[in-house]
Amino acid sequence: MLIKYLRLLIYFTFFCLILSENNFKSIEYIPDVILKDLDKKKVKLLNISDNKFIVFNFWNMACEPCKKEMKFLNEFHKKYNDYDFKVISVNMDSPRSMSKVKKYVKSSKYEFEVLMDPRMNLFKKMGGSVMPFVVLADNRGIISNKHVGYNLGDEISLEEEIKVLISFNKDSIINND
């Protein structure tokens, strides 16, 4: 049974790899949703992400790896802010944990914007199922890559990817002109 299952899994993995290639998938855009920020103000996602290179990160208070990754995301947010880059952090705790979320964000001195997605609408629309979940999007609102999971060291690769994202799109804009 185990051998049969493994064989099936290998075939399916190849199938998934082929499907995940961009050639087989239509362009995916940032969804048009309205979320609330920590001060309960409504925020239209497309408005705050317009013409920006974005890293979305999805997390909740129980997710320890998410919290570790956020420390580095905050650094990237500050470091590349002049390059039209920003991090949008999306918390998925239920509203009843909002006081703890706000307290945590304040005490961690995070400078990025934190939005609340208690019904996990945006998370599911972007295809998330496991945290930490990071989504990269360019300044045209096109989603360029997604990452699931975090281990110390992954932030180095992510930073390289952010640099490529910013520079690649600048080049392509120049070329298009």
Partner 1 sequence: MIKLKFIVLFFGIIHANINLNFESQYGSGSNVNDQTQDTTSYYYFENLLDINVNYRNLNLYTQLEYSNPPVYGEQIISSKNVASSYFVEYFNDFLMLKWGNIQTINNYGLDINMFQDQSIDFDNRIKGIELRYLPNDVVEFNYISGNGTFGTKSKGDLRVNDLNFDHKLDSYGMNIYSDFGEFSISSSSKKTFYDEGIYNTLSNSDTRFAIDLQDYISDPNYVNENSEVELNAINFSYSNTLGNFDIYIENSNNIYNKVLRKDDKDEEGYLRYFALSGDIFGMSLSYEFKDYYMLYYMPIISNPPTVFFESSSVLISRIQHNINFSDEIGHQLELSFNGKYNLSYLFNLSMGMKHSGIRNPNSFDFDEDFNIFYNVYESISFSDFFGSNGMDYTDEDFIAHKPFRNIYAEISRWNNNNSLYSKVGYHSHYSYDANSDKVYQTYTIPTQFVVGFKSKNSLTTYLEYQYTKNFDPFTFEEKEFLTYKHLALSYYINKIGSITYLRDEENITFLANNDFNKDNVWEGIELSLKISPTMQLSIFQGSQKGGLVCANGVCAVQPSFEDGTKITFRALF
Binding site for partner 1 (CB under 8 A): 1-2, 5-6, 9, 12-13, 16-17, 19-20, 25-26, 28-29, 31-34, 39-40, 42, 44, 62-64, 68, 71-72, 94-97, 99-100, 102-104, 106-107, 118-121, 124-130, 145-149, 151-154, 156-157
Q: 84 vs 121, which CB is nearer to partner 1?
A: 121
Please report how close the Cβ of residue 26 comes to partner 1 at its closest, in angstroms: 5
Smaller CB distance to partner 1: residue 113 or 154?
154
Q: Among residues 49 and 121, whose Cβ is nearest to partner 1? A: 121
The amino acid at residue 58 is F
Q: What's the gap between Cα 138 and its chain centre?
A: 12
Q: Which is nearer to partner 1, 4 or 174 (CB)?
A: 4
CB of 95 to partner 1, least distance (A): 6
Choice between 152 and 173, CB closer to partner 1: 152
Distance CA 155, CA 177 (A): 33
**For residue 81, what are the CA distances in angstroms to 48, 52, 85, 112?**
14, 10, 5, 10
Shortest distance in whole angstroms from residue 31 CB to partner 1: 6
- Smallest distance from the beta carbon of 115 to partner 1, in angstroms? 16
| Residue 59 burial (CB count, 10 A) | 24
Beta-carbon contacts of 101 under 8 Å, excluding residues fewer than 6 positions away, are 38, 61, 91, 93, 114, 116
Instruction: State the minimum distance, in angstroms, from the CB of residue 112 to partner 1.
Output: 17
C-beta separation of 117 from 49 below 8 A = no
Contact residues for 66 (Cβ-Cβ < 8 A; gap 6+): 57, 58, 59, 60, 131, 132, 150
